[in-house]
Amino acid sequence: MAASQHVNVRIDLSKIRANATDVRRRIGAVVALIAVVKADAYGLGVDRVAPAIADLVDEFCVFNLQEAAEARLHETTGKSIITLFPAPPSLDAGDYRRHRVRPVVIHAEGAARLRDAAPLLCVDTGMQRFACPPGEVGAVLKPGHCRDAFTHATKLEAVQRLIEVAGGRGPRLHAAGTTLLDERRAHLDAVRPGLALYRGAVRVSTPLVEVREASGPAGYTGFTSPTGRHGVVLAGYAHGLRNGPCRVNGRPARVLEVGMQSAFVTCDRGDKAGDEVVLLGDGLTEDAVAADWNGPPQLALIQLAGSGVRTYVE
């Protein structure tokens, strides 16, 4: 996905710190806080986000070794890192230890091969994706190679299943991401929030380059603006934009039609070229955008955070 030079992505690092502090308050001092910074910190820039919260979290979580290595995550934060994707056979314990990264394993052979890198066992509690079947967990944990056993959970039933198959066997347990942060029974020994760290930290805006009175159906689709006027912005689906809500001069508006590198938005009397269109922020939340996009809030966040030129507020 390309970034438009006409879109400004403003990232508030102090808001991310405030979110991390709030998560710590909610889980208490005993439960470990593992900050998920995979996919370039959800598109916000791991090179800036991770150092900004390193003193507030216990560990970082990425998708695979490559993400951690490319970001020099341990060097810039001093924290250990866990991965979510199982270690491929081409990598050994030394590859992970070199970057202070702990690999994920899903079977006994991988746990034995990577034991010197303090691996984590991923347990399948219903996700049915790169994880160890519950019936094989005992065989993987018995040698004592794994320091953690975790699962991907959105419901308490999955948390309970993890406890049933891996609890009392020694490893630290964690299951809760953003979805289960409000469920104290899901906190276990650690939590892994992602979206909860980034909510409200991004403001995406772009100026109107044209404003017109409607003179009949417009655009590729022949849309009709409900206000009788429309404007054009230089952001399109090449930059991750979709039809949905926006704000023009502070009031609710709509992205009516999206082209490759431009889009139409509703305008009112008084709106003119150069006026600001907000695509995220100023009360327009990730959840509100995502609901209109028929997707999760993570989708709206990473698409819009990558749509333009980043600037940071510290």
Q: Does a structural domain hold residue 11?
A: no
Q: Report which DSSP code applies to 179.
A: G
The β-bridge relationship of strands 244-248 and 202-213 is unpaired
Q: Which residues neighbour 140 within 8 Å (Cβ) at sequence distance 6 or greater?
A: 105, 106, 107, 108, 111, 121, 132, 146
Please, what's the b/e burial string for 63-85 (b: 16 or more CB within 10 A of its CB; e: otherwise)? ebbebbbebebbeebebbbbbbb
Residues for the chain: how many in total? 314
Assess whether 36 and 159 both reside in one domain. yes
pLDDT reported for residue 314: 87
Residue 13, pLDDT score = 98
CATH code where residue 180 lies: 3.20.20.10
Based on the fold, state whether residues 74 and 192 are members of the same structural domain.
Answer: yes
Same domain, residue pair 207 and 189 = no
- Domain match, 228 and 122 both: no
Task: State whether 190 and 219 are in the same domain.
Answer: no
Task: Inform me whether the pLDDT recorded for 2 exceeds 90.
Answer: no
On whether both 264 and 191 belong to a single domain, the answer is no
Residue 204's pLDDT band, with cuts at 50, 70 and 90, is very high
Same domain, 46 and 162: yes
User: What integer best gives the mean pLDDT of the chain?
Assistant: 97
The owner of tokens 């079947």 is 133
Residue 1 has pLDDT above 90, yes or no: no
Q: Does a structural domain hold residue 2?
A: no
User: Is 103 part of any domain?
Assistant: yes
Is the pLDDT reported for residue 3 higher than 90? yes
pLDDT for the residue numbered 83: 98
Instruction: Indicate if 165 and 98 belong to the same structural domain.
Output: yes
Domain that holds residue 192: 31-197
Pair 186, 83 in one domain: yes
214-259 pLDDT, tens digit per residue, is 998 999 999 999 999 999 999 999 999 999 999 999 999 999 999 9
Amino acid 291: pLDDT: 96
- Contact between 65 and 81 (Cβ < 8 Å): no
Query: Looking at the structure, do residues 38 and 153 belong to the same domain, yes or no?
Result: yes
Residue-wise pLDDT tens digits, 169-193: 989 999 999 999 999 999 999 999 9
> Does residue 6 fall inside a structural domain?
no
pLDDT, mean of residues 136-146: 94
pLDDT at 290 over 80: yes
Number of structural domains (the chain) is 2
